[in-house]
Amino acid sequence: MDTLIVGGGTAGCVLAARLSEDPCHTVCLLEAGPVWATAARMPSALLDATRMPIDAGAPWLRTYPVTLAMDEAGHAIDGNIVRGSVLGGSGAVNGSYFVRATAADFAAWSRELGRSTTWTFDSVLPVYQRLERDLDFGDRPGHGRTGPMPVHRPAEPVPLSLEFAAACTASNIPAIADLNALPGSGPANGFGPVPCNIEDGMRVSTGSAYLLPVMFRPNLTVAGGMRVTRIRFHGTRAVGVDYVRDGESGTAWADRIVVCAGAIESASLLQRSGIGPARHLRALDIPVLHSAPVGAGFTDHLEIGIDYRLGREIPMPNAVALEYVSILDDIELRPYTVSFTPGDYRLGVALMRPHSTGVLRLRSTDPAAPPFIEHRYLSAEHDRIRLTDAAAAAIELLRRIPSARVRNPLPDAAGSDANMWLRANLATSQHLSGTCRMGTADDERAVVDERCAVYGVIGLSVVDLSIVPVALSRGPQATTVLIAERAAEFLAA
């Protein structure tokens, strides 16, 4: 094999499809979860965009216990997060919100890379255009209309979404018709319909958009049910992987290995293979191949849920979970169309550029054991202040929705009462990123270089959401596709 890809998720499917465009280049993709040969064989639950197929026990999910934050007394606030373990990965089970990161995000990303222009907004814009087939605005400047990923905004929003939009208008919040529009072409802050990777009511993952249409290629092998347990090295050169399939172990060899296992599993796999914080690896008796800050300083978008009731009946037709959002700098307001508790509705208040960062470490050398994941949400005072203010503004906005009554009002006093309230209503967006962050060779926090190659070894790259060195101001799915498209350019060169 020329290239062996670990993980057929959002990024892995893109990369396998792009690299195998060259018929002389052999590509093998190993995916831990189930794989189907055609979209028609995929379970309908994965295709129905009006529900997220993340019920406990679903065969295409992996669940991880996490510590979200610590309470005032120093006790852990625990929770669970999930990831799609299936062709298409988390993109096959997610909320289908497909929005670009901002020009400011890429400016921040580029600052991490010194003088490099590899990840400036101008460099990545053609890639965003190439990957999308925007069914609403494809002909507008800065957009694409021939790419694999469909992008469509809700044509007939449900009444709850329309009430939120009306409340925004009544609060003088400007409307943004296209959240993926070029910077400067409209207001930066405002509310608007969510761009979704949905076509004909169906969720379109990179599995169905990129990989399934090219499965026939003779130079492409895709195997499901293959959990990679360790990367093999000759010296410092990556030469293969160990895997387990149906309880049997085996080894696959390749000229180079690209890890696309997602921010949790890519970091875990690197650590199990001897690339990680040396002291931690030694404590687990893992021989250290290269000491690196794998798993340190990750970010995720924390969310505070404001629950409310309406003093009247409102029709709730099936819809994508989020049809509208409102953006105010680093805050995203999410009026969910689904009820989390019968009779209650939720407005999510998400902090998109948190200062708090988390850490991921192996629990044991057993590949089946989930790693320790500590989000350390709300540990930075900046985040607590920002979210308290944003929650107050969100509750004010809810007053504009007729007969809406907030179930968990913010305490009047600031300080510890407000902090307790934040902790009591804390949730996560499931956007964990940056466990194998990109940076310059002299950056002590960096794991990969600007072309996604892992420092300290040869023939090993990480290509997925792990590599993002900054908190993105928007949901990460579209940018994960972009990362894989961009990395395919580097790896094909």
Ligand X SMILES: Cc1cc2nc3c(=O)[nH]c(=O)nc-3n(C[C@H](O)[C@H](O)[C@H](O)COP(=O)(O)OP(=O)(O)OC[C@H]3O[C@@H](n4cnc5c(N)ncnc54)[C@H](O)[C@@H]3O)c2cc1C
Q: What positions carry a catalytic annotation? A: 431
| 218: number of Cβ within 10 Å | 8
Subset of residues 337 to 396 that bind ligand X, contact rule: CB under 6 A: none
124 forms part of the interface with ligand X (CB under 6 A): no
327 forms part of the interface with ligand X (CB under 6 A): no
How many Å apart are CA 274 and CA 276, to the nearest integer? Answer: 6
Of 105 and 265, which CB lies nearer to ligand X in the complex structure?
265
CB 22 within 8 A of CB 492: yes
Q: x-or-dash pattern for ligand X, window 208-237, by CB under 6 A?
A: ------------------xxx---------
For 66, the 3-state DSSP assignment is strand
477 forms part of the interface with ligand X (CB under 6 A): yes
CB 144 within 8 A of CB 127: no
**DSSP per-residue letters across 325-351:** EEEETTEEEEEBSS-SSTT-EEEEEEE
Contact stretch for ligand X (CB under 6 A) within 83-91, 125-133, 298-306, 413-421: 83-91
- Taking the chain, what is the end-to-end CA distance rounded to the nearest angstrom? 17
Subset of residues 401 to 460 that bind ligand X, contact rule: CB under 6 A: 430-431
Of 151 and 160, which CB lies nearer to ligand X in the complex structure?
151
Within 135-273, strands assigned E span 149-151, 190-193, 198-199, 202-203, 220-223, 227-234, 237-245, 248-253, 256-259
In 3D, which of 215, 180, 160, 149 has the Cα closest to residue 8? 215
303 forms part of the interface with ligand X (CB under 6 A): no
Which of 4, 5, 8, 298 is close enough to bind ligand X by CB under 6 A? 8
256-259 vs 460-462, strand pairing mode = parallel
Cβ 430 to ligand X shortest distance, Å: 4
For 77, the 3-state DSSP assignment is strand
- Written as six digits, the tokens of 472 are 């993105």
Of 64 and 455, which CB lies nearer to ligand X in the complex structure?
64
36 forms part of the interface with ligand X (CB under 6 A): no
Q: The dihedral of CA 338, 166, 198, 195: what is its sign?
A: negative
Of 91 and 150, which CB lies nearer to ligand X in the complex structure?
91
Cβ 249 to ligand X shortest distance, Å: 13
* Strand ranges of the sheet holding 358-361, from the earlier edge strand across to the other edge: 76-84, 61-70, 372-374, 358-361, 296-298
332 forms part of the interface with ligand X (CB under 6 A): no
83 forms part of the interface with ligand X (CB under 6 A): yes
Subset of residues 245 to 274 that bind ligand X, contact rule: CB under 6 A: 260-263, 265, 269
Of 233 and 421, which CB lies nearer to ligand X in the complex structure?
233
Q: Which residue is nearest to ligand X (CB)?
A: 9
Q: Measure CA 251 to chain center.
A: 29
Of 42 and 395, which CB lies nearer to ligand X in the complex structure?
42
- Written as six digits, the tokens of 44 are 């309908």
Of 85 and 419, which CB lies nearer to ligand X in the complex structure?
85
Of 56 and 413, which CB lies nearer to ligand X in the complex structure?
56
DSSP 8-class letter at 172: T
How many Å apart are CA 96 and CA 383, to the nearest integer? Answer: 27
Which of 7, 157, 274, 277 is close enough to bind ligand X by CB under 6 A? 7
Which of 32, 46, 176, 404 is close enough to bind ligand X by CB under 6 A? 32
Cβ 8 to ligand X shortest distance, Å: 5
CB 434 within 8 A of CB 298: yes
461 forms part of the interface with ligand X (CB under 6 A): no
User: How many distinct helices (H) and strands (E) make up the chain?
Assistant: 11, 26
Cβ 405 to ligand X shortest distance, Å: 28
Binding-site residue total for ligand X (CB under 6 A)?
A: 43
Give strand pairing partners of 248: 245
Of 131 and 395, which CB lies nearer to ligand X in the complex structure?
131
CB 435 within 8 A of CB 466: yes
Contact stretch for ligand X (CB under 6 A) within 43-51, 88-96, 297-305, 380-388: 88-96
16 forms part of the interface with ligand X (CB under 6 A): no
Which of 97, 121, 377, 421 is close enough to bind ligand X by CB under 6 A? 97
| 415: number of Cβ within 10 Å | 10
197 forms part of the interface with ligand X (CB under 6 A): no
DSSP 8-class letter at 91: G
Give strand pairing partners of 66: 79
Contact stretch for ligand X (CB under 6 A) within 92-100, 142-150, 391-399, 412-420: 92-100
Contact stretch for ligand X (CB under 6 A) within 72-80, 181-189, 386-394, 474-482: 474-482
User: Biggest alpha carbon distance in the chain?
Assistant: 68
* Binding positions for ligand X, rule: CB under 6 A: 6-12, 30-33, 52, 54, 82-86, 89-91, 93-97, 226-228, 260-263, 265, 269, 430-431, 464-465, 475-477, 480
